[in-house]
Amino acid sequence: MQATSDEVLIGRIATGDRLAMQVLFARHHVRVYRFVLRLVRNETTAEDLISDVFLDVWRQADRFEGRSAVSTWLLSIARFKALSALRRRPEQELDEETAAAIEDPSDDPEVALEKKDKSALIRKCLTGLSAEHREIIDLVYYHEKSIEEVAEIVGIPENTVKTRMFYGRKKLGELLKAEGIERGWP
């Protein structure tokens, strides 16, 4: 049996159908949450933001024109809200979080063991990337967004999407190199 499409759900939400809202929320909230969490790095903030994202959907469903996928629309709203929340946060808090993300707790034996694991190191370096690079890598690899869709979500030209992804991957390679992993590229 075919599930109701996101577009049909949005149409129903536009008429005030709360059940359709529940279905859409159940379908997308985890991915939207993870996207936001990777940007704001705070679970409580991320939870608050996804409520806001879906509340915007409730309010604006009748303006959705279907030019892009609903998931792309959701991520666009989520990104805008995450960046607005980041701008409101004190800089000191941001610096501490960034430092924590790339910190090398070498005195922790568990982490020391983990360092031998290449997979864990790649994930650690993915976390240590700048917000700009984290965002684009997540959108392409995890949220399966095409070049055009990333361009729409981030609000940049398609060629810039390609170069930003390239430099994001390059930076990842440099971080891995600093951790002792030589991949032969870049």
Partner 1 sequence: MNTMNNEAHERQDIEDNIEALLPWHAAGTLNRRDAERVEAALAGDRELAQRYDLVREELGETILLNETLGAPSARAMQKLFAAIEAEKAPRRRPSFNLSGRIAEFLAGFAPRTLAYSATAAAIVLLVQAAVIGSVMVDQFGSTGYQVANIPTTDGSFATVRFAPQATAVEISAFLEANKASLVDGPKRGLYTIRLAVTGLPKEEIAKIFKRMQDQSKIVELIAVVQ
Binding site for partner 1 (CB under 8 A): 8, 11, 13-16, 18, 21-22, 25, 29-30, 33-34, 37-38, 43, 46-48, 50-51, 54-55, 58-59, 61-62, 119, 122-123, 126-127, 137-138, 140-142, 144-147, 149, 159, 162-163, 165-166, 169, 172, 183-185
Q: At what angle do helices 6-14 and 18-40 cross, to 10 degrees?
A: 110
Residue 32 in contact with residue 78, Cβ under 8 Å?
yes
Closest to partner 1 by CB, 15 or 92? 15
Shortest distance (Å) from residue 157 CB to partner 1: 10
How many residues are listed for the chain in this entry? 186
Burial of 141 (0-12, 13-18, 19+ CB in 10 A): exposed
Evaluate the CA torsion angle 66, 68, 69, 73 in order and state its sign. Answer: negative
Residue closer to partner 1 (CB basis): 50 or 92: 50
Nearer residue to partner 1 within complex by CB, 92 or 173: 173
